[in-house]
Structure 1
Amino acid sequence: MTMAERVDEVLRAGAAPGFHGLVVMRGGEVELERYGAGVDSRVGQSLGHVTFDRDTLHDLRSVSKSVVGLLYGIALGDGLVPEVGAGLMAQFPEYPDLAGDSARAGITIEHALTMTLGLDWNEDAPYTSAANSEIAMELAPDRHRFVLERPVVEEPGRRRVYCGGATALLGGIIARGTGRPLEEYAADALFRPLGIGTFEWSKGDDGLAMAAAGVRLRPLDLAAIGRLVLDGGRDIVPASWLDEMTRPRVAVGDGLDYGYHWYVGGGMLQAMGNGGQQLVVVPGEQLVVAVTAGEYDRPATSTAAVFDAIFKKH
């Protein structure tokens, strides 16, 4: 069976009930494109039942983090943000009480990029509960202070703890360095150069873009980001940054390592988001796979079923 036949068999059998969209590119060309229908939401706001097509925007949730990773590299290449070894607290001088804390003095931007800040953070609770640190951050009057004032629980760099707050800080640094809101910089520096004319970036109550989870794109445009990575950044992202961004730095389990806001392992580069959002780049096969789904806050079985069909060996 061909890849298309295997995917269609999975969809016909109802084995991927939460499936919303799929784009497979090989060698820069779209090889397979499929869309579904189902209940969807926008960062917790119900959109009801949606019939998806190639022009429908979809939440990327934490795939947004990997987009921010790319944006940091672009801004760094333009000399607009500090090198990754720079102190993190120095980027937020409006909090002198925190900047003067010796326990935080060793935290760098690189620790944010690898989510090894050493701060108390827990996203194990559902993303509908304030017990989840990312949700608590969104409810806080000042998201950056909320993250930076978390108790120091271990030496930075020792262990990766999944942390949307790290991405919020990176988004803040990018916005400060470029002098523009994160979503405006993203439009000009990344999306438009890729031919992405329509996107959304959900904002918090404070009016700031939700760096960790707010990007909404078409699956085709998500795949275009994967192709950009596959192509070495072209003239949009410095190739040197892509090398650094995708270098394994912290083991996260299941055969995966974490780079700078991207997962690395098994010959693949991956960006993942709640609900089954996933972007996979397989350099050895010149392959890009983008999947969107609606299994928010539960196991992404639909995405797993689709990937099994795509990568099943003959």
Structure 2
Amino acid sequence: MKIRSQAHIWLLFLAASLLLSSCDATDPASVDDELPRIENSIIDLGLPWKTAEPEQVDMLEDRLTTAVAEAGQIDRLRSLLVVRNGRLVTERYFGGADEATLHDVRSVTKSVVGTLTGIAHASGLLPDLDAPITDYIDDEIAEVRAEHSLITVRHLLTMTSGVEWVESGSTGYVDWINSADPVQYFFDKPLAATPGTQFAYNSAAVHVLGLVVGQAVAESLPDYADNALFGPIGIDVADWENMMGTSVNGGAGLDLEARDLARFGQLWLQRGRSGDTQILPETWIDDSLENVYPPQGSFGPLNGISYGFLWWTEAGQVEPAYLAWGYGGQFVYVVPDLNLVVVATTDWRGVIDVNPLEQDVLDVIVRHVVPAARLGSASKKMADDSMAPSPFARRVRPAA
């Protein structure tokens, strides 16, 4: 009896040990189901987009779900894309749009033309930003007033040409685009200020900048865009608005797919790199984000707004951002501190007052998508900190 009793006790002990061991072990199935975390990296933009779940890039899924739900309530919204750590996290289309839809992105075109200017400058084809634009605009293109010889390439980049202009008024975009000769229309305007002294938003000025770039590189603007920018970052389809049959609208005439707008934003987030290739110099990125005027004013959720080389900057959030901003709610919104790019496009045609539409789209981006990244990163950091051994515990001597 005594021997049997000891064996019974030993078997119970063995069973309990095995049970405890199985409780401590990690379930292989749970390991397989756990998604790997994706760190930020410089991606090759010429390759197809890779996707990720929000948790893999430290984004809060519930906040992104709210963002998509809010986006779905905006009648004119057509796309919302979120890229973090180089991965496409959210991609939603509305109103019959899909990934092949070309979006008329209006003044996002300006940021593209600014980028092309930077590439041409870096290559030495447009060496001096302070050269007068009359070096590139000859009599075959337009008759130029003597005073316009004071306008430089830099002035066109920073909206400080000094030309008399009110973008939304009778001397602005509508009359310009409907004129018989849009280039001559610009040069027929007198100077209202000394070039370089006053900011005045002017689509025609950027159109002229596109002509300057084309003259400098000896290619049409679409061809140069395809060869120097779009091709290297994987953009295969781009549609430009024709003007006079001889040029394209460099101020607001580009149509792109939403995924390709994300490629463009990611190029800037990656400081001009695609994989191992430096397409745009880092110095151009830095120069482009220097403010022409002190950050001021607000629009919807944006605060501390200013302007650089054809990009808007915004300093009023927790993390500074910059954005390509097109009429009616076309946005490529970049937040470097969060490794985040957000794209939104709308169907703006026929909307009489676009300000509420633009504010609604910005609300989705700034109040929902950005916090999904910010709070997700904070949650990840708190989780990592909780797993780390206490620094205090390491300083306590073991008992003698």
Name the TM-score class by shorter chain.
0.7 to 0.9
CA distance in 2, matches of 1:301, 1:17: 13
Q: How far apart in 1 are the matches of 2:235 and 2:184? A: 33
Between stretches 75-84 and 193-202, larger displacement belongs to 75-84
Number of residue equivalences: 292
Q: Distance in 2 between matches of 1:228 and 1:154?
A: 35
Unpaired runs of at least 5, structure 1: 38-50, 126-130
**2:265–2:332 Cα contact (<8 Å) kept:** yes
Aligned twin of 1:48:
none
Structure 1 residues 17 and 106: CA distance shift in structure 2, 3 A: same
TM-score normalised per structure 2: 0.69
Paired letter, 2:291: P
1:239 and 2:261 are equivalent in the alignment = no
Asked which structure has the greater RCO (Cα within 8 Å, sep 6+), the reply is: 1
Residues 239-277 of structure 1 show CA distances to partners (whole Å, capped at 9, x for unaligned) of 221111122122463311111101112211111001100
Alpha-carbon RMSD: 2.0
- 1:180 & 1:117 partners in 2: Cα distance? 24
Whether 1:5 and 2:65 are equivalent positions in the alignment is yes
Please state if 1:98 is matched with 2:98. no
Listed as ranges, the gaps of 5+ residues in structure 2 are: 1-60, 299-303, 376-400
| 2:193 alignment counterpart | 154
| Matched residue, 1:212 | 251
Letter in 2 for 1:194: I
- Shift, 1:18, TM fit: 1.4
Task: Determine which structure has the larger strand proportion and give its number.
Answer: 1
SS at match of 1:174: helix
Percent identity (aligned): 30
Aligned to 2:218: 179
Are the structure 2 counterparts of residues 70 and 256 from structure 1 closer, same or farther at C-alpha, using a change threshold of 3 Å?
Answer: same
Q: What does the per-residue CA deviation read over 1:122-162, in whole Å, with 9 as the maximum and x for residues that have no partner?
A: 1224xxxxx35223232333322221221111111221111
1:270 is the counterpart of 2:313: no
Please, which of 143, 160, 163 is the counterpart of residue 119 of structure 1?
163
Partner SS, residue 331 of structure 2: strand
Distance 1:90 1:11 in 2: 47
| 1:283-304 deviation per Cα after TM superposition (whole angstroms, max 9, x unaligned) | 0000000100123452224413
Residues 44-193 of structure 1: matches in 2 within 5 Å? 51-94=96-139, 98=144, 101=146, 103-125=147-169, 131=170, 133-193=172-232
Distance in 2 of aligned mates of 1:84 and 1:312: 38
SS of match in other structure, 1:98: coil
From 338, 343, 346, give the equivalent of 1:285.
338
Q: Is the 8 A contact 2:136 2:216 kept in 1?
A: no
Separation (CA, whole Å) in 2 of partners of 1:175 and 1:247 = 25
Structure with bigger helix share is: 2
Runs of 4+ in 1 over 6 A off after TM superposition: none
Find the counterpart in structure 2 of residue 41 from structure 1: none
Quote the residue 2:238 is aligned against.
199
1:30 aligns with 2:88: yes
C-alpha deviation, 1:84, in angstroms = 1.0
Q: Secondary structure at the match of 2:99?
A: coil
